[in-house]
Every structure is written in structure tokens, then in C-alpha cells.
Amino acid sequence: METAYINSPLGITKIIGDENGIAVISVSDVGDNDVSPVIPEVLKEAVSQLEEYFQGQRINFDLKLNPKGTDFQQKVWKSLLEIPYGKTISYMDQTKKLVDVKAIRAVASANGKNPLWIVVPCHRVIGTNGSLTGYAGGLSRKKWLLEHENPTTQQRLF
């Protein structure tokens, strides 16, 4: 597995992957890691697409993904890819599409373990009442991402 660190508006973005796909994209506070002076060839497309996203030039990602997780987690993460750019759904709506509504905590837990920040858009899942709830990257980052994707309609959520 190769690793790269790049600057983003929300902190240092860590990308891990190999020829089988991108396994991890995460963010940490600025200063936690040094930015990579050289990007491994296998990660260059992911870096390019993330930069385009942050510049407002990309709304869909076209990357080979290879996240590690249980079958259930994989199913939940796959459902996140169906949420359009600039739109949100509630945890309850996501759960209803996947499994019995009694599994809402399991679905929320799987969202929280999503290893592919932004590319698998768990930030687009909000509380039933429209509130920002739960986000491994922190609620301030979730708010930033939602406003980045849809500055006019997201403002009414928070």
C-alpha cells in the first residue's frame, strides 16, 4: 500500500491505496502529518480528483475503491454512493432503503466507520429533523462539506 498526504481546506488529507484501489481517505488537523513531496503514481488520480472537488470543479468521483469492512459495512457504504452531490438524506431514510428500521444504529455505526472520506459521502447523511449529527471528521467539517456542495439550500439546515 502507498500513502500520500495532501493539503485540503479542512486539514491534511491522507490517501492510502494500491493497484487494487483506494482503501482509505481521511482527514486530520493541519500539522498532524507532513504533506507528501512526491505523490505515488497509484494515488495521483485520487489526489487530482480531490483537488478538483475542493476547487468546485468535480461533483462525482471516478476512482477504483477498495475499502476494507464487513459485508454489512460494504452494503451501507455502497448506499452512500447513491446520494447525489448537493443532496442529503436522513439516517432513517438510509436505513429504510437498506434494512429494517430497527437497524438504524448499525447503519449509523457503519457510516461512522466509512474509510473513504468525501468520496463515499457519509457527510450527506443527517438527522431526521435536519440536524447535523455524527461525523467522524467532526461536525464543523461536515457542515463545511454540505455548504461546499450546496451553499444555498444547506444553510437552512443549521
Q: Give catalytic status of residue 135 as yes or no.
A: no
Question: Where is average pLDDT lowest: 58-67, 139-148, 149-158?
Answer: 149-158
- Confidence grade of residue 152 (pLDDT, cut at 50, 70, 90): confident
The 10s digit of each residue's pLDDT in 88-137 is 999 999 999 998 888 999 999 999 999 999 999 999 999 988 888 888 88
Q: State which residues form the domain around 46.
A: 2-54
Residues 93 and 135 in one domain: yes
Q: pLDDT for 13-52, tens place per residue?
A: 999 999 999 999 999 876 556 788 899 999 999 999 999 9
CATH number at residue 78: 1.10.10.10
3-class SS letters over 50-113: HHHHHCCCCCCCCCCECCCCCHHHHHHHHHHCCCCCCCCEEHHHHHHHHCCHHHHHHHHHHHHC
Confirm whether 87 is domain-assigned. Answer: yes
**Which of 122, 125, 126, 145 is the catalytic position?**
122
Going by pLDDT thresholds of 50, 70 and 90, the confidence category of residue 154 is very low
Answer yes or no: pTM beyond 0.95. Answer: no
